[in-house]
Amino acid sequence: MRELSVREALREAMREEMYRDENVFVMGEDITEHGGIYGVTQGLYDEFGGERIRITPISEAVIIGSALGAAMTGMRPIAELMYIDFTTVAMDQIVNQAAKMRFMSGGKVEVPLVIRTQGGGGRGSAAQHSQSLEAWFMHVPGLKVVMPSTPYDAKGLLKTAIRDDNPVLFVEHKMAYNFTGEVPEEEYLIPFGEADIKREGSDVTVIANSYMLPRALEAAEDMVKEEGLSVEVIDPLTLEPFDEETIVKSVAKTGRLVVVHEAVKRCGFGAEIAAKIMESEAFYYLDAPLERVAGMEAPVPYNEKLEMHGMPNTDKIKAAIKRSCYVK
Amino acid sequence: MELSKERLLKMYEDMLKIRLFEERAIKLFNKGLIRGPMHVYIGQEAVAVGACANLREEDYITSTHRGHGHCIAKGGELKKMTAELLGKATGYSKGKGGSMHIADPEIGILGANGIVGGGIGIAPGAALSAKMRGTDQVAVCFFGDGATNEGIFHESLNLAAVWELPIVYLCENNKYGLTSKADEVLAVEDVADRAASYDIPSEIVDGNDVVAVYEAVKRAVERAKDSGGPTLIEAKTYRWEGHFVGDPCVYRDDCEVEEWKERCPIDRLGELLVEEGATEEELKSIREQIEQDLDEAVDFAQSSPEPEVESIFADIFVD
Share of chain B above pLDDT 70, in %: 100
Query: Phi first, then psi: what are they for A95, rounded to 5°?
Result: -85, -45
Give yes or no: residues A25 and A168 share one domain: yes
Q: Secondary structure of chain B in the HEC alphabet?
A: CCCCHHHHHHHHHHHHHHHHHHHHHHHHHHCCCCCCCCCCCCCCHHHHHHHHCCCCCCCEEECCCCCHHHHHHCCCCHHHHHHHHCCCCCCCCCCCCCHHHCCEHHHCECCCCCCCCHHHHHHHHHHHHHHHCCCCCCEEEEEECHHHHCHHHHHHHHHHHHCCCCEEEEEEECCEECCEEHHHHCCCCCHHHHHHHHCCCEEEEECCCHHHHHHHHHHHHHHHHCCCCCEEEEEECCCCCCCCCCCCCCCCCHHHHHHHHCCCHHHHHHHHHHHCCCCHHHHHHHHHHHHHHHHHHHHHHHHCCCCCHHHHHCCCCCC
Instruction: Give chain B's length.
Output: 319
Please state, in angstroms and rounded to a whole number, the distance separating the CA atoms of residues A228 and A224.
4
- Do residue B121 and residue A108 have CB atoms under 8 angstroms apart? no
- Find which of A104, A163, A164, A168 to mutate to test the B interface (most B CBs within 10 Å of its CB): A104
Q: How far is B24 from chain A (nearest CA, A)?
A: 23
B153 in A contact zone (CB under 8 Å) = no
Q: Nearest 5 degrees, angle CA A116-CA A122-CA A125?
A: 75
Give yes or no: residues A145 and A256 share one domain: no
Give yes or no: residues A43 and A125 share one domain: yes
A81 in B contact zone (CB under 8 Å) = no
- Do residue A51 and residue B314 have CB atoms under 8 angstroms apart? no
- For residue A159, give its domain range: 3-182
Question: What own/partner pairs with CB < 8 Å and gap ≥ 24 does A265-270 have?
Answer: A265/A292, A265/A294, A265/A295, A265/A296, A265/A297, A266/A297, A267/A135, A268/A132, A268/A135, A268/A292, A268/A294, A268/A295, A269/A134, A269/A135, A269/A138, A269/A239, A270/A207, A270/A294
Pick from A159, A182, A205: which residue ends a domain? A182
Has residue A248 been placed in a domain? yes
Please state, in angstroms and rounded to a whole number, the distance separating the CA atoms of residues A57 and A31.
11
Please report the pLDDT score of residue B238 as a whole number: 97
A105 in B contact zone (CB under 8 Å) = yes
Q: Which residues in A lie closer than 8 A to residue B62 (C-beta atoms)?
A: 69
A238 in B contact zone (CB under 8 Å) = no
With a threshold of 0.85, tell me whether the complex ipTM lies above it.
yes
Residues 6+ apart with CB under 8 A from A75: A23, A25, B128, B129, B132, B133
Please state, in angstroms and rounded to a whole number, the distance separating the CA atoms of residues A274 and B182.
50
Q: How far is A286 from chain B (nearest CA, A)?
A: 32
Please report the pLDDT score of residue B319 as a whole number: 86
Has residue A187 been placed in a domain? no
Give per-residue pLDDT as tens, B254-279.
Answer: 999 999 999 999 999 999 999 999 99
Give yes or no: residues A37 and A155 share one domain: yes
Give yes or no: residues A138 and A22 share one domain: yes
Task: Flag residues of chain A having pLDDT under 50.
Answer: none
Give yes or no: residues A15 and A157 share one domain: yes
Give yes or no: residues A140 and A208 share one domain: no
In this structure, what CATH number is given to the domain that contains residue A147?
A: 3.40.50.970
Please report the pLDDT score of residue B180 as a whole number: 93
Has residue A105 been placed in a domain? yes
Based on its alpha-carbon atoms, the radius of gyration of chain A, rounded to whole angstroms, reads 20
Question: Across residues B186-211, what is the average pLDDT?
Answer: 98
A21 in B contact zone (CB under 8 Å) = no
Give yes or no: residues A105 and A131 share one domain: yes
Please report the pLDDT score of residue A328 as a whole number: 86
Amino acid at B104: D
Please report the pLDDT score of residue B204 as a whole number: 98
Closest residue of chain A to B58, computed from CA coordinates: A73
Count: domains in chain A: 2
Give yes or no: residues A90 and A239 share one domain: no
Give yes or no: residues A35 and A10 share one domain: yes
Give yes or no: residues A120 and A220 share one domain: no
Question: Across residues B138-160, what is the average pLDDT?
Answer: 98
Q: Which residues in B lie closer than 8 A to residue A164 (C-beta atoms)?
A: 318
Pick from A160, A182, A204: which residue ends a domain? A182
Share of chain B above pLDDT 90, in %: 99
Instruction: Assess whether A129 carries a catalytic annotation.
Output: yes
Residue B1's pLDDT band, with cuts at 50, 70 and 90, is low
Q: Is A206 helix (H, G, I), strand (E, B) or coil?
A: strand
User: In this structure, what is the dihedral angle of CA atoms B88, B90, B91, B92, given to the nearest 10 degrees?
Assistant: 150
A28 in B contact zone (CB under 8 Å) = no
Give per-residue pLDDT as tens, B217-251.
Answer: 999 999 999 999 999 999 999 999 999 999 999 99
Please state, in angstroms and rounded to a whole number, the distance separating the CA atoms of residues A207 and A92.
31
Has residue A54 been placed in a domain? yes
Domain B5-306 has CATH 3.40.50.720: no
Identify the helix (H) or strand (E) that includes residue A8.
helix A6-20
Q: Which residues in A lie closer than 8 A to residue B95 (C-beta atoms)?
A: 106
Residue B314's pLDDT band, with cuts at 50, 70 and 90, is very high
Burial zone of B187 (CB within 10 Å; 0-12 exposed, 13-18 middle, 19+ buried): exposed
Average pLDDT, chain B: 97
Q: How far is B94 from chain A (nearest CA, A)?
A: 5
Q: Which residues in B lie closer than 8 A to residue A25 (C-beta atoms)?
A: 132
Has residue A188 been placed in a domain? no
Question: Across residues B98-127, what is the average pLDDT?
Answer: 97
Has residue A189 been placed in a domain? no
Ramachandran region, residue B36 (left: φ > 0; alpha: ψ -120 to 50; beta: rest): left
